[in-house]
Amino acid sequence: MRACVARKGLAGATFDQVAREAGVSRGLLHYYFGTKEHLLVEAVRRDSELRLQDLEARLEPAKTGDDFMTAMAQKMQENLSEDPEFTTLIFELFTLARRNDEVAAEFAALLRSTRDTVTAMLIAAEQRGALKLAAPADCVVDVLFSLADGFALRMLGDTERDFSQSIAAAVGVVRPLLGES
């Protein structure tokens, strides 16, 4: 599903194509997922879970807000350079959610779950003395994700540009939220 949607968009991806690429029957996909929209939601949900586990492992050793921001920025850049299809799936899911109430509810739940998980990571980092948050943890996460989403859109749209200085500037802007100056 990831590969088909990344290449053709959700409208162009069919169960037949997904089944062929996955080496399974079309009927099996219908049985387990019902619609390609539901399959997309489940693909993004599973991928998000794996990415959050990796992010948590990277953030656990962070001793300062700078360590935290460096790990998050590196993870974002790796996601975009090594697996831009995932970000494309997120944007496809967002677009679909604007027109489909069931998908909108699933997408909102996925966003909340992701925010809650990273919020818990920030709170744990603050409790162990690595951070001193200047705003509620969930608000800091909203700022971090908003920056990452904006960068993702720009980086996927302008692959010739080097965004490293822009990302460094964003890290500098966010540092005070994490208790760094």
Are the CB atoms for 176 and 142 separated by under 8 Å?
no
Residues 39 and 84: beta-carbon distance below 8 Å: no
Identify whether the C-beta of residue 5 lies closer than 8 Å to the C-beta of residue 13: yes
* CATH number, span 40-178: 1.10.357.10
Would you kindly state where each structural domain of the chain is located, as residue ranges? 40-178
pLDDT tens sequence for the chain (181 residues): 777 877 777 778 888 888 888 889 888 888 888 888 888 888 888 888 888 898 889 888 888 888 888 888 888 888 888 888 888 888 888 988 999 898 899 899 999 999 999 999 999 999 999 899 999 999 999 999 999 999 999 998 999 999 999 998 998 899 899 986 5
Q: Residue 126's pLDDT is what?
A: 93
Q: In this predicted structure, what is the pLDDT of residue 5?
A: 78
